[in-house]
Each structure stands twice: as structure tokens, then as C-alpha cells.
Amino acid sequence: MGFYWISAIYIGRLLSQDAYERLSTNVNPNDIKDWIKNTNDPRGRYILHAPNSYIQIGFIDPILEQSEIQQGFVNKNELHKILTPLQIESLQPNQNEQEKLKYFIKCAAKDEQDDSFQTYIIQTQYSTYDSSNKVSHNIRVK
């Protein structure tokens, strides 16, 4: 009982509820089922990622340091403390996945034409005391 954290490393974009709905309207939902993860964040956030570019990690303690949360990014070298070299290599989407990811990002966008994607770490805190208590941090890796 108490608090625990679920974290994931992914290459893609975090989508708002509105962006997710635009994506679901513009493409066949079956085409994106392997590309979407629901974060269970109360704000209705979804992760859009290439199918093999998402690695979930569960920890009793958080993996993000307060200083990383405040600065808004994690140094890429920190991934080597969490993942094996093979996992880091397999995280990279292939050319076809990159093109599809850019297409899905454009479909989810309201007006913006930026179709770029990056590596992120998302961390969600859960409480066994209150099921609605979930705090997410989505930090860029650079």
C-alpha cells in the first residue's frame, strides 16, 4: 500500500484529448491501435509512438529526479542507466515507421505543421489510497 510509479520511455508525441480525437477521426482506429497508449492521466493524455518504440518500466521509486522535472529534460546518457544497449537500439523506429508516425502526427494536429517526434520519459505516480491521484511528468530526452 502507498505510492508507486510506472514509467515508460518512448519515441513519439504526447497527445491531448483533442488531438487524439482528431487522429481517431482522420484515420481508421484499427490503423493506430498499436501506435497509441492511454496514459490514464486525468487530463486525457495519449502517447502516439511507433509500435516498437515504447518500453514500459515499473519502479517502486521514481526514475526522474526533481531537478530533471524542473529543467524539463533528461540527458540522453541517463538512458544507459535504465536500458540495455540492445533496448536503446530497438527503441529507434525504422524508416517506414518514421514516415507513418509523421503522418499520424499531422492527422492529430489542429493547424500546426510540425511533424517532428522525439524521445520522452513519462512517469506516472499512483496511490493505493486514492485511485484518482495520478501525477504525470512527460520529460524530453536530449
pLDDT in tens, 112-128: 677 888 999 988 877 77
Q: pLDDT at position 21, please? A: 94
Q: pLDDT at position 17, please? A: 92
Comparing C-alpha atoms, which of 8, 7, 6, 11 is closest to residue 89?
11
> What does the buried/exposed string (b/e) look like for 25-34 if buried means 16 or more CB atoms within 10 Å of the residue's CB?
eebeeeebee
Residues of the chain with pLDDT > 90: what percent?
Answer: 45
Residues 109 and 113: their CA atoms lie apart, in Å, by 7
- Domain borders along the chain are 3-141
Task: Say whether pLDDT at 133 is over 60.
Answer: no
pLDDT in tens, 57-101: 877 778 888 999 999 999 988 888 888 888 888 889 999 999 999
Residues 6+ apart with CB under 8 A from 67: none
Task: Say whether pLDDT at 135 is over 70.
Answer: no
30: cell is: 484499427
Q: pLDDT at position 1, please? A: 60
pTM for the complete prediction? 0.85
pLDDT in tens, 24-70: 999 998 999 999 998 877 778 899 999 889 998 877 778 888 999 99
